[in-house]
Amino acid sequence: MCPRDVSVAGFDDTRYASVSYPRPITIHQPMVEMGRAMVGVLLDILSGKVESARSVALGHRLVLRESTQAIALVP
């Protein structure tokens, strides 16, 4: 049974993650900011400000929920 026997983790923090049971631990990504950054890079390329795509780093966060439990670390 989750989380005793198995842990569940997800990525993207979709709305389903917050309504399922048990709710999975997940990584939240700033989707709106990702879209804005992508459009900005594309506009820079199309306008000739840059010749190729550039790397853009955006923050993310771990969303802790009920689908995992702490483990005891054995020295």
Query: Per residue in 8-63, pLDDT tens?
Result: 888 888 887 778 888 888 899 999 999 999 999 889 989 998 877 778 899 999 98
Q: What share of the chain is helix, strand, coil (3-state, %, to 5)?
A: 30, 15, 55
Within a domain: 72: no
Could you give the 3-state DSSP secondary structure of residue 1? coil
Comparison of pLDDT for 3 and 31, the residue scoring more: 31
Rg from Cα positions in the chain: 18
Q: Answer whether residue 54 is part of any domain.
A: yes
Q: Is 40 part of any domain?
A: yes
Give the chain's domain count: 1
- Per-residue model confidence (pLDDT) at position 9: 84
44 in helix, strand or coil? Answer: helix
* Residue 24 domain boundaries: 9-63
The answer to whether residue 36 sits within a structural domain is yes
Residue 4 lies in a domain: no
> Is the residue at 68 inside a domain?
no
